[in-house]
């Protein structure tokens, strides 16, 4: 029965029968579901289904083919592998699914003949699959092993190339390279290092690194070496000298590096050595050039200052030092008249003589520039040491110097400073020597001068005062005091002398003798005098308003420079105008020398002032030199007799007849010229009484009142005192 049915199927249903095709399609779908996901197949799900459908149709065709062949089964297995159905479960599931479902899906369940054909095809499929998978696996294993070999070859060839590069670098490097083990045995040195030191590799291999020690090596070089070998540091740099095979020396920059093994233990040391001998020698030459004067060959300022600094840093060695600061007298004249060439030759000879006369341990002669030289004496025992040096120098310069047919006599001025080093600085020393040189010049040249701290203090104070004076005037540090001028006859205050004072923030209250001369030197006397004049006129105006006819005039000192100021008349007029002060309330005091020694112009100014009614007084009369004949023609109203003549009139019981006679004569002289007389420095009642008796008109001095603020004058005028 089954046979018959089977026959009918084979006859009635070809593999292309739609029902069989539909069955094949259904089977292909189940197959896809069973095998998808067991390996990567580069197809979409639809493509997979189509692929398996094709295989199913091939299988169905084989199942029904006549004659029956198993080859398609083999092919199907192979094609599964080709499509990368390579997952371990693929074959098992496929074979199982074929056995379980295929015939039922095709509509021939239980057909023995087809079942046995299918079994044959399953076997072929399994064999084909296994064969293809085995081939594919072997091919892939072979491919990956080949890839490993390729990769290794590549890595090794890179390593070889890298080694070759390093070898070339070592061999060809311009810098010396040496390798030693951790015990210092030299293993290899490159050509550059062989050339540098003059030893071959074989000779170098006989050495230990420590054999390369040089007596001039800094201690740190070998201390760091020990640390490196101990693994405490990984590299260091140093300057180091080496002995060459030929006995010469090589200066080098050395960099030593530690190479560690895989466990971090020190294994090798690598030295990189750069020959800097040329640079070193050049540096030495440049340093010499930088520190020496090219003309005289003497140390220059830089070297001198360096040495001086070192003296101060070595105070433990020497506690004292001295300096001679020397400058040729009149060198500029020689330079200007005989030319720079001659001047230069002169400097060379002076330098030579200085060097000869001063040579010795601890002494340095340097040229500071121009015609200035300096001699440093380290470890002096006192000023006398330096004075001796200065004397030797002056003597050495006495002999005329012959240059290009000229016999030149030169002299020098020398400033000497010698002192204990503690408590001073090199800058102090230099400055003081410079100042002292200036003194030697000022004192007449061709000599030495010793630094004198008191002289310096005075000059510093003077300098400080003159430097601070302009600011002082702006800041209102000056003020004016007034001292009454008293008519002896009835003790009436007729005038007051204005006296300028300086309330100095540092030095306190200063009298005019401390600063008027300085003000004259600097020219500040003109604005200062103008300020005093204005101040005094303002007070005079106030007194005039308050006391009317009994108000005193103000007497204001006029310095020499002020009297020669072309603006004097204009200034005085302007101030009188501004203060609305009648001119006869102002008296100007000038010294004899200011009036007598002057040319015509200042005198005309005085005449002009006199003409408008300003009173003119001669201050300190009798201490200068007066031309008595001339006096007659001068526009003067008052003589003020200097306080020094009052000394003899001072005592109560006896008087100096000479002083007495001088004062009497001066009073007579004044009166003969129709001038008033004021006696300055009246300090005792006896003096006042005698002056009155001698006919003196006015007195001024402590007996009457000390200089004081304007309010004191107010009190006097009111009769409060």
Residues lying near another protein in the complex (CB under 8 A) are found at 37-42, 44-46, 84, 86-87, 136-137, 140-141, 143-144, 146-152, 154-155, 158
CA–CA distances in Å: residue 531 to residues 488, 527, 565, 711: 31, 6, 15, 19
Q: At what angle do helices 525-547 and 710-718 cross, to 10 degrees?
A: 30
Contact by Cβ (8 Å): 319, 421: yes
Alpha-carbon span 292 to 300, nearest angstrom: 5
Q: How far is the CB of 82 from another protein (least distance, A)?
A: 10
Q: Which is nearer to another protein, 136 or 542 (CB)?
A: 136
Q: How far is the CB of 40 from another protein (least distance, A)?
A: 4
Residue appearing with tokens 């209250």? 509
Q: Which is nearer to another protein, 143 or 442 (CB)?
A: 143
Cα torsion for 416, 418, 423, 429, to the nearest 10°?
30
Q: How far is the CB of 86 from another protein (least distance, A)?
A: 4
Closest CA to 367 of 426, 429, 311, 302: 302
Q: Which is nearer to another protein, 151 or 230 (CB)?
A: 151
Alpha-carbon span 500 to 509, nearest angstrom: 11
Contact by Cβ (8 Å): 365, 299: yes
Closest CA to 254 of 176, 320, 318: 176
Q: How far is the CB of 28 from another protein (least distance, A)?
A: 14
Q: How far is the CB of 137 from another protein (least distance, A)?
A: 4
Contact by Cβ (8 Å): 497, 586: no
Q: Which is nearer to another protein, 42 or 405 (CB)?
A: 42
Q: Which is nearer to another protein, 31 or 331 (CB)?
A: 31
Q: How far is the CB of 160 from another protein (least distance, A)?
A: 13
CB within 8 Å of 456: residues ≥ 6 apart: 432, 435
Q: How far is the CB of 92 from another protein (least distance, A)?
A: 15
Q: Which is nearer to another protein, 146 or 282 (CB)?
A: 146
Phi-psi region of 328 (alpha: psi -120 to 50; beta: other; left: phi over 0): beta
Q: How far is the CB of 111 from another protein (least distance, A)?
A: 32
Q: Which is nearer to another protein, 154 or 627 (CB)?
A: 154
Q: How far is the CB of 147 from another protein (least distance, A)?
A: 3
Alpha-carbon span 164 to 36, nearest angstrom: 53
CB within 8 Å of 302: residues ≥ 6 apart: 290, 291
3-state DSSP assignment of residue 544: helix
Contact by Cβ (8 Å): 660, 690: yes
Q: Which is nearer to another protein, 82 or 428 (CB)?
A: 82
Q: Which is nearer to another protein, 161 or 230 (CB)?
A: 161
For residue 31, with 0-12 CB atoms within 10 Å meaning exposed, 13-18 middle and 19 or more buried, which class applies? buried
Q: What sign does the CA torsion over 101, 104, 108, 109 have?
A: positive
Count other C-beta atoms under 10 Å from residue 124's C-beta.
20
Q: Residue 239: beta bridge partners?
A: 253
Q: How far is the CB of 72 from another protein (least distance, A)?
A: 24
Q: Which is nearer to another protein, 5 or 149 (CB)?
A: 149
């Amino acid at each position: 029965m089954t046979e018959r049915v089977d026959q009918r199927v084979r006859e009635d249903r070809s593999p292309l029968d739609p029902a069989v095709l539909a069955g094949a399609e259904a089977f292909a779908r189940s197959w896809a579901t069973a095998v998808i996901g067991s390996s990567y197949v580069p197809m979409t799900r639809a493509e997979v289904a189509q692929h398996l459908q094709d295989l199913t149709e091939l299988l169905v065709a084989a199942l029904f083919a006549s004659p029956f062949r198993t080859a398609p089964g083999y092919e199907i297995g192979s094609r599964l592998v080709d499509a990368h159905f390579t997952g371990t479960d693929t074959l098992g599931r496929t074979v199982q699914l074929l056995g379980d479902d295929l015939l039922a899906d095709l509509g021939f369940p239980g057909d023995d003949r087809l079942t046995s054909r299918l079994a044959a095809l399953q076997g072929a499929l399994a064999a084909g699959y296994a064969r293809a998978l085995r081939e594919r696996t072997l091919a892939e294993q072979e491919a990956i092993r080949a890839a490993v070999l390729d990769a290794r070859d590549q890595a090794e060839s890179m390593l070889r190339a890298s080694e070759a590069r390093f070898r070339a670098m070592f061999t060809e490097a311009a810098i010396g390279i040496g390798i030693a083990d951790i015990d210092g045995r030299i293993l290899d040195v490159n050509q550059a290092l062989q050339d540098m030191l003059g030893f071959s590799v074989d000779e170098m291999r006989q050495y230990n690194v420590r054999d390369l020690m040089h007596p001039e090596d800094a201690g740190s070089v070998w201390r760091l070496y020990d640390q490196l070998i101990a693994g405490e540091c990984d590299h260091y740099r140093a300057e180091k000298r080496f002995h060459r095979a030929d006995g010469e020396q090589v200066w080098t920059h050395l960099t030593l590096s530690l190479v560690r093994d895989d466990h971090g233990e020190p294994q090798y040391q690598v030295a990189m050595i750069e020959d800097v001998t040329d640079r070193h020698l050049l540096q030495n030459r440049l340093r010499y050039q930088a520190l020496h004067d090219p003309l005289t060959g003497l140390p220059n300022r830089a070297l001198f200052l360096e040495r001086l600094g070192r003296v101060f840093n070595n105070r433990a060695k020497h506690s004292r030092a001295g300096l001679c600061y020397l400058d040729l007298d009149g060198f500029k004249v020689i330079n200007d008249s005989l030319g720079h060439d001659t001047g230069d030759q002169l400097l060379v000879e002076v330098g030579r003589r200085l060097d000869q006369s001063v040579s010795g341990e601890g002494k340095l002669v340097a040229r500071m520039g121009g015609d200035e030289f300096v001699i440093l004496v380290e470890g002096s025992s006192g000023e006398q040491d330096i004075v001796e040096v200065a004397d030797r120098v002056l003597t050495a310069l006495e002999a005329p110097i012959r240059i290009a047919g000229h016999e030149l006599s030169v002299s020098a001025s020398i400033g000497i400073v010698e002192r204990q080093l503690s408590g001073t600085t090199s800058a102090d020393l230099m400055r003081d020597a410079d100042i002292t040189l200036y003194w030697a010049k000022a004192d007449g040249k061709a000599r030495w001068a010793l630094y004198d701290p008191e002289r310096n203090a005075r000059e510093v104070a003077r300098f400080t005062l003159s430097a601070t004076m302009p600011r002082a005037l702006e800041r209102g540090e000056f003020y004016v005091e007034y001292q009454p001028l008293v008519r002896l006859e009835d003790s009436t205050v007729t005038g007051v002398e204005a006296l300028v004072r300086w309330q100095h923030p540092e030095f306190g209250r200063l009298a005019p003798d401390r600063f008027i001369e300085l003000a004259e030197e600097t020219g500040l006397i003109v604005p200062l005098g103008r300020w005093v004049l204005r101040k005094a006129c303002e007070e005079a105006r106030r007194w005039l308003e308050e006391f009317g006819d009994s108000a005193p005039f103000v007497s204001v000192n006029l310095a020499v420079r002020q009297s020669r100021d072309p603006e004097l008349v204009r200034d005085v007029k302007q101030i009188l105008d501004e203060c609305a002060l009648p001119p006869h309330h102002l008296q100007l005091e000038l010294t004899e020398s200011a009036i007598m020694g002057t040319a015509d112009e200042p005198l005309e100014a005085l005449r002009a002032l006199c003409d408008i009614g300003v009173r003119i007084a001669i201050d300190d009369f009798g201490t200068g030199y007066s031309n008595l004949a001339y006096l007659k023609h001068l526009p003067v109203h008052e003589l003020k007799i200097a306080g020094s003549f009052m000394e003899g009139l001072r005592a109560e019981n006896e008087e100096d007849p000479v002083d007495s006679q001088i004062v009497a004569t001066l009073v007579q002289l004044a009166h003969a010229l129709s001038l008033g007389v004021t006696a300055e420095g009246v300090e005792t009642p006896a003096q006042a009484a005698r002056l009155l008796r001698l006919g003196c008109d006015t007195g001024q001095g402590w007996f009457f009142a000390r200089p004081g603020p304007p309010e004191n004058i107010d009190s006097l005028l009111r009769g409060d005192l």
